[in-house]
Amino acid sequence: MLKSPLLRIYRFLYDTRLYHLVFWLLYVLFWAVLFQPSDRILIALLKSAAVLSFHAGASYFNNYYLLQWFLLKRQYLTYLFSLLLIIALATFPLAIIYHRFFNLGDEVRDSIWTWRFFLANGVSILLTVAVTTSLKLLKSWYQEERRTQALQKVNAQTELKFLKSQINPHFLFNSLNNLYALTLMKSDKAPEVVLRLSSILRYVLYETTEGKVPLEKEIEYLRDYIELEKIRLGERAIIETDLDGDFKQLQVEPMIFLTLVENSFKHGAARQESGAWVKLQIERESDNEIHFHVSNSRSREKSTSTDILNPNNNGGIGLENLRKRLQLLYQGRHRLAIREDVDSYAVDLHIQL
């Protein structure tokens, strides 16, 4: 609550550029206290404002012209010469102001036209220019950082959309293949497949477009997919699932687990005529960490390059796609481990949500 009014003030000053005025008011006050301590406050402020108006002129000319013309183009000697020239030019009207309008003693007044006066004022102008230039460069750096971060975010979102667009047709193609097989067999289960596929597509098309989804919905989506596989495989495979738990208030990026579940069937149980099995488990390990485990049997035949769960395989959409999504969405907050035995695959995924 305390940050909100300050943030509004900051945004107002930034949008209206009144922060320039605030800076110079504070700088004038600082100058008056430091160099005019014996004068009344109003007189000290007026004197400081008169002097600093030339500081401001040199500073703005440097920030908006000299920096662009020379320094950013790496013409360092030309920039240094131009800056010293501007500072020197500003010291002459300052000498006139000190001589005519400041109430100075005769001895001090006589010292105005000496090289010491011009050197002291030139150094003070240079100090002000250095302060304002530092603030200008700091602001430019901050704005560039924000633009870079915004661009990285846009690029990451674009890549995520591309990766997700790969998953949807990939999943739909496999599901339609399953449905086609059932229709060839004139199976009475084909209507149920259509119904569950419709539910899955509704979830994919309408509920996964706004970023994170409730973990419970993602699990329900996996249940529908598993039911489709049970219909397709029939009694050829034993499928064990443990998807019950306290997942309330947990949000997850959609379709994170689909690749692993799909591969456990496609490259495992579906290749075996009998004795196939799939085990799937999701558990909550802490307030914000979940553990996803899937394992499946595999044929004793030699693995081929199409086994997406094979760690040595770099092709295909599946695992490589998942790794990229995890890196973008949960960088530093996930662990993916794949174990391969002679007759089984196992995958463990830990995610801090």
pLDDT tens track for 275-325: 788 999 999 888 888 999 999 888 765 444 334 344 334 334 567 778 887
Q: Write 303-309 long-range contacts (CB < 8 A, 24+).
A: 306/267, 307/267, 308/259, 308/263, 308/267, 309/260, 309/263, 309/264, 309/267, 309/268, 309/338, 309/340, 309/345, 309/347
Strands 289-297 and 276-284: what pairing?
A: antiparallel
How many Cβ atoms sit within 10 Å of the Cβ of residue 257?
A: 24
Nearest C-alpha neighbor of 124 from the set 183, 54, 74, 180? 54
Tokens of 232: 């397709």
Strands 276-284 and 334-340: what pairing?
A: unpaired
Angle at 64 between CA 62 and CA 66, to 5 degrees: 45
Phi, psi for residue 243 in degrees, rounded to 5: -115, 15
Check the CA dihedral 61-66-69-73 and report its sign: negative
How many Cβ atoms sit within 10 Å of the Cβ of residue 39?
A: 15
Report the residue count for the chain: 353
pLDDT tens track for 101-160: 676 655 556 667 778 888 888 899 999 999 999 988 888 888 888 877 766 666 566 555
Q: Which residue has the tokens 């249940």?
A: 223
The alpha carbon of residue 178 and the mean position of all alpha carbons in its chain are separated, in whole angstroms, by 39
Encode the chain in three state secondary structure. Answer: CCHHHHHHHHHHHHHHCCHHHHHHHHHHHHHHHHHCCCCCHHHHHHHHHHHHHHHHHHHHHHHHHHHHHCHHHCCHHHHHHHHHHHHHHHHHHHHHHHHHHCCCCHHHHHHHHCHHHHHHHHHHHHHHHHHHHHHHHHHHHHHHHHHHHHHHHHHHHHHHHHHHHHHHHHHHHHHHHHHHHHHHCCCCCHHHHHHHHHHHHHHHHHCCCCCCEEHHHHHHHHHHHHHHHHHHHHHHEEEEEECCCCCCCCEECCCCCHHHHHHHHHCCHHHCCCCEEEEEEEEECCCCEEEEEEEEECCCCCCCCCCCCCCCCCCCCHHHHHHHHHHHHCCCCEEEEEEECCCEEEEEEEEEC
Residues 230, 265 contacting (CB under 8 angstroms): no
Q: What is the predicted pLDDT for the residue at 331?
A: 85
Tokens of 239: 């499928």
pLDDT tens track for 213-226: 888 888 888 888 88
Phi, psi for residue 302 in degrees, rounded to 5: -60, 135
pLDDT tens track for 70-82: 888 889 899 899 9
Q: What is the predicted pLDDT for the residue at 303?
A: 46
Q: Check residues 19 and 270 and name the one with the higher pLDDT.
A: 19
How does residue 348 score in pLDDT terms, banded at 50, 70 and 90?
very high
Q: What is the predicted pLDDT for the residue at 202?
A: 78
Nearest C-alpha neighbor of 269 from the set 221, 318, 236, 303? 236
Instruction: Work out the mean pLDDT of the chain and round it to a whole number.
Output: 78
Tokens of 225: 């997919």
- The model's pTM: 0.53
Averaged pLDDT, 96-101? 74
End-to-end CA distance of the chain: 26
Residue 320, amino acid: E
Q: Check residues 199 and 125 and name the one with the higher pLDDT.
A: 125
Q: Report the alpha-carbon distance of residue 167 to residue 104 in Å, rounded.
A: 81
pLDDT at 232 exceeding the cut of 50: yes
Q: What is the predicted pLDDT for the residue at 350?
A: 93
- Domains delineated in the chain: 13-148 (no CATH), 187-352 (3.30.565.10)
How does residue 231 score in pLDDT terms, banded at 50, 70 and 90?
confident
Q: What is the predicted pLDDT for the residue at 143?
A: 80
